[in-house]
């Protein structure tokens, strides 16, 4: 037993997760990731969606086998879900046909625990997590916060050494999420939680700084650990403490920093524009953000954490939006700030029709994929082109999800800019009728 004290709970070395693709190279989701988890600490994996942090969580839980790399649980190679690990899910993952108590007892049943002990332990977990009196309720009768408490109780009842949490509060409203976080931290500080360590996946910067002792910041595409930070503050932490704010600001800076150039694909692929993933952000949102940036109090420059707070956006909502503005030349992201460009200002001043024109210009100039599509349409005698072919080409450069998002973005922007039409039913690009006549 003694040697366990010094031994880390989990070690992950050189972990790599990729999906094999037929035509091109493998799609790398996680690349060369190392992770060590010791007893007594809360570690946060922080990153944007698609950065592979949830994949890493599943690898640590034993649900998923990495393509390569060494994963050890208490020094032993991990082969399947370990008995000392329990997970809390973003979607709660409660069984709607089981009562609160039956849901909580699930893990105990799997362990073959006798009824008396099951009752006792589930009662204990239910009371600890503040669900007393709800034993016989069904999940659908509960609010989101109460449901996640059930999820927590279900994980704690098996007395796991490691508690894994996959964006546990992101499906909850702001106030509920805050209450749950505080309750969890209080229990952790009072040493009332029957766990030795917590690994939490999140895309919420403040949440990570608020809860974790250590934060691993992930970069996307492929997922890598870009930074590791120790959080030096003692619990309970104050969000309005200047040092806290500074740390949040710093992490924003890290997350908006452009990826090093070497990540980019070979130059030959660039001109066609197939290699850049796009976010399907609606044109209304683009206009809205430009207007907001242009007006008071930002006057063309906004601090991202402040902007996120004002708009009630999570990083995952705001960063794609900011990046899209940057991509289209309307704004620039610099060290955690979003700065409107001259074109952005011109756009904000313009009327509806002129805005469309500016947008079209910027789209044509900065998104080569739109031009590529238009070129193919023009080359065809019937002025139609299948979307499937573009999706396939995109998938040579990115994951199917990214390819799908990119295509959706291009379709929506191209339609707005009236560069082409799109027939959803036939999945075909085409031209507007007057355009077609002109061409003919």
CA distance 63 to 73: 13
Q: Which is nearer to other proteins, 63 or 174 (CB)?
A: 63
Tokens for 406, please give them: 């990119």
Q: Which is nearer to other proteins, 246 or 282 (CB)?
A: 282
The burial of 274, by beta-carbon neighbours within 10 Å (0-12 exposed, 13-18 middle, 19 or more buried), is given as buried
State which of positions 131-160 bind other proteins (CB under 8 A).
138-141, 154, 158
CA distance 169 to 177: 5
Contact call for residue 408 and other proteins (CB under 8 A): no
CA distance 429 to 216: 42
Residue of 196, 217, 417 whose CA lies nearest to 315: 217
Q: Which is nearer to other proteins, 262 or 424 (CB)?
A: 424
> Could you give the dihedral angle defined by the CA atoms of residues 214, 216, 217 and 219, in that order, rounded to the nearest 10 degrees?
180
Residue 91: CB minimum distance to other proteins, A:
5
Residue 326: CB minimum distance to other proteins, A:
30
Instruction: Supply the Cα-derived Rg of the chain in whole angstroms.
Output: 25
Contact call for residue 128 and other proteins (CB under 8 A): no
Q: Which of 77, 80, 232, 297 binds other proteins (CB under 8 A)?
A: 80
Residue 64: CB minimum distance to other proteins, A:
5
Q: Which of 7, 14, 40, 79 binds other proteins (CB under 8 A)?
A: 79
CA distance 112 to 94: 20
Contact call for residue 87 and other proteins (CB under 8 A): yes
Contact call for residue 389 and other proteins (CB under 8 A): no
Show the site string, 288-317: x = touches other proteins by CB under 8 A, - = not.
------------------------------
Show the site string, 9-48: x = touches other proteins by CB under 8 A, - = not.
--------xxxx----------------------------
Tokens for 343, please give them: 């074109």
Backbone angles phi, psi at 136, to 5 degrees: -95, 5
If one counts every other C-beta atom within 10 angstroms of the C-beta of residue 86, the result is 25
Q: Which is nearer to other proteins, 139 or 322 (CB)?
A: 139
Q: Which of 65, 279, 346, 380 binds other proteins (CB under 8 A)?
A: 65
Residue 225: CB minimum distance to other proteins, A:
21
Contact call for residue 89 and other proteins (CB under 8 A): yes
Q: Which is nearer to other proteins, 89 or 294 (CB)?
A: 89
CB 59 within 8 A of CB 71: yes
CB 213 within 8 A of CB 43: yes
Q: Which stretch binds other proteins (CB under 8 A): 83-91, 368-376, 410-418, 432-440?
A: 83-91
Show the site string, 94-123: x = touches other proteins by CB under 8 A, - = not.
-xxxx-------xx-xxxx-----------
> Could you give the dihedral angle defined by the CA atoms of residues 121, 126, 130 and 131, in that order, rounded to the nearest 10 degrees?
-160
Q: Which is nearer to other proteins, 98 or 306 (CB)?
A: 98
If one counts every other C-beta atom within 10 angstroms of the C-beta of residue 295, the result is 11
Binding residues for other proteins, rule CB under 8 A, total 40
Q: Which is nearer to other proteins, 114 or 261 (CB)?
A: 114
Contact call for residue 401 and other proteins (CB under 8 A): no
Residue 141: CB minimum distance to other proteins, A:
6
The burial of 222, by beta-carbon neighbours within 10 Å (0-12 exposed, 13-18 middle, 19 or more buried), is given as buried
CA distance 184 to 239: 17
CA distance 10 to 210: 23
Residue 212: CB minimum distance to other proteins, A:
22
Residue 103: CB minimum distance to other proteins, A:
9
Q: Which stretch binds other proteins (CB under 8 A): 55-63, 187-195, 229-237, 375-383?
A: 55-63
H helix intervals, 281-341: 283-294, 304-311, 315-327
Measured between its terminal Cα atoms, the distance across the chain in Å is: 83
Contact call for residue 368 and other proteins (CB under 8 A): no
CB 363 within 8 A of CB 399: no
Show the site string, 420-439: x = touches other proteins by CB under 8 A, - = not.
-----x--------------
Mapping DSSP to helix (H, G, I), strand (E, B) and coil, where does residue 303 land?
A: strand
Residue 28: CB minimum distance to other proteins, A:
12
CA distance 121 to 115: 10
Residue 260: CB minimum distance to other proteins, A:
27
Give residues in contact with other proteins (CB under 8 A). 17-20, 58, 61-65, 67, 79-81, 83, 85-87, 89-93, 95-98, 106-107, 109-112, 138-141, 154, 158, 425
């Amino acid at each position: 037993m003694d040697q366990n004290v010094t031994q880390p709970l989990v070690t992950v070395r050189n972990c790599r997760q990729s999906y094999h693709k037929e035509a091109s190279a493998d799609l790398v989701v996680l690349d060369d990731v190392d992770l060590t988890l010791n007893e007594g600490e809360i570690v946060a994996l922080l990153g944007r969606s698609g950065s592979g942090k949830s994949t890493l969580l599943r690898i640590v839980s034993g649900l998923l086998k990495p393509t390569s790399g060494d994963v050890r649980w208490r020094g032993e190679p991990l082969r399947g879900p370990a008995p000392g690990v329990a997970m809390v899910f973003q979607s709660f993952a409660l069984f709607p046909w089981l009562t609160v108590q039956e849901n909580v007892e699930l893990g105990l049943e799997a362990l073959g625990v006798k009824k008396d002990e099951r009752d006792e332990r589930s009662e204990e977990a239910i009371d600890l997590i503040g669900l007393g009196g709800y034993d016989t309720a069904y999940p659908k009768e509960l609010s989101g916060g109460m449901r996640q408490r059930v999820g927590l109780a279900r994980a704690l009842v098996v007395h796991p050494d490691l508690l894994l949490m996959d964006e546990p509060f992101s499906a909850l409203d702001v106030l509920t999420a805050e209450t749950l976080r505080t309750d969890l931290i209080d229990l952790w500080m009072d040493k009332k939680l029957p766990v030795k360590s917590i690994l939490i996946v999140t895309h919420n910067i403040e949440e990570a700084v608020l809860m974790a002792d250590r934060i691993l910041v992930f970069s996307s595409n492929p997922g890598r650990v870009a930074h590791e930070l120790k959080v030096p503050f003692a619990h309970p932490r104050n969000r309005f403490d200047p040092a806290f704010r500074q740390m949040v600001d710093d992490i924003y800076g890290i997350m908006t920093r452009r990826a090093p150039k070497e990540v980019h694909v070979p130059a030959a692929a660039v001109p066609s524009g197939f290699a850049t993933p796009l976010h399907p952000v609606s044109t209304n949102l683009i206009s809205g953000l430009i207007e907001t940036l242009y007006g008071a109090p930002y006057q063309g420059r906004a601090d991202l954490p402040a902007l996120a707070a004002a708009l009630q956006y999570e990083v995952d909502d705001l960063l794609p939006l900011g990046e899209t503005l940057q991509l289209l030349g309307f704004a620039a992201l610099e060290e955690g700030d979003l700065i409107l460009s001259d074109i952005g200002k011109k756009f904000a001043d313009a009327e509806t029709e002129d805005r469309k024109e500016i947008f079209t210009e910027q789209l044509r100039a900065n998104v080569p994929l739109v031009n590529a599509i238009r070129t193919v349409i023009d080359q065809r005698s019937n002025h139609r082109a299948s979307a499937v072919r573009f999706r396939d080409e995109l998938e040579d450069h990115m994951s199917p999800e990214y390819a799908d998002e990119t295509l959706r973005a291009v379709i929506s922007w191209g339609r707005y800019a009236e560069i082409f039409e799109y027939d959803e039913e036939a999945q075909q690009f085409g031209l507007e009728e007057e355009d077609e006549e002109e061409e003919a």
